[in-house]
Amino acid sequence: MTARTTATTPSKAGTTAPEAGATAPEAGTTAPEAAATGKDAILLAARRAFTQRPYAEVTIRGIAADAGVSASLVVKHFGRKEELFNTVADFGPAAEELFDAPLDALGRHMVLTLVRRRREQKGDPLLRVVFSLGNHDERSLLRDRFHEQVTARLTARLPGRERALRAELIAGHLIGLGATLSLHREGAGSHATPEHLADLYAPALQSLVVR
């Protein structure tokens, strides 16, 4: 399977029927804000589901329950299970944010962006690829998408020799940072500012950006 393959998940795994009605906005919350919050919760729940369980075991109803919304709201925002999976497998928007800086400031920018996104959106932009180490088609798609949209894209940006190797190592550093912050959710890193984390962590990344 290549990273350009879309909607290649097993067709025999059907989407469960949606429940009637969507969840109501919380008191004091406007409808657009509630909708945005619901969509974010659905996406986080879908990432957990697809990266931790086989595709055939994942259901729209289960994702909705984890997100605290109705199944009909999941369908409204993302369509069928197949379409929702392809959204989860898309690293393009995250890469766009992470790599949107000049080369001489890229290391620091990547750390700041990753940490801020984790805190603002309650989810890591890259860490889900760690759960793609099985042989299932959907997990292979996650790996392929990551390589094409993150590692290969970064390789094309880097100057000098051994660009592919350096891009892989940078990607590993970013995944490692996300894993560390997830492992120590209440640790020292959770209390450090993004700027302080960048002061400590970014130099290693920057040394791989420009050599």
* pLDDT tens string 173-208: 999 999 999 999 999 999 999 999 999 999 999 999
Residue 90 phi, psi dihedral angles, 5° rounding: -95, 110
Predicted TM-score (pTM) of the model is: 0.70
DSSP state of 150: I
How distant is the alpha carbon of residue 91 from its chain centre? Answer: 6
Instruction: For residues 3 and 150, give the distance between their C-alpha atoms in angstroms, rounded to a whole number.
Output: 11
- How is residue 135 written in tokens? 């042989």
pLDDT surpasses 70 at 20: no
Instruction: For residues 19 and 159, give the distance between their C-alpha atoms in angstroms, rounded to a whole number.
Output: 52
pLDDT surpasses 90 at 136: no
DSSP state of 195: H
C-alpha Rg value of the chain to the nearest Å: 18
Nearest Cα to 136, choosing from 57, 81, 44? 57
- How is residue 111 written in tokens? 């750390």
Collapsed DSSP state (helix, strand, coil) of residue 37: helix
How distant is the alpha carbon of residue 128 from its chain centre? Answer: 6
* Predicted local confidence at residue 171, as pLDDT: 96
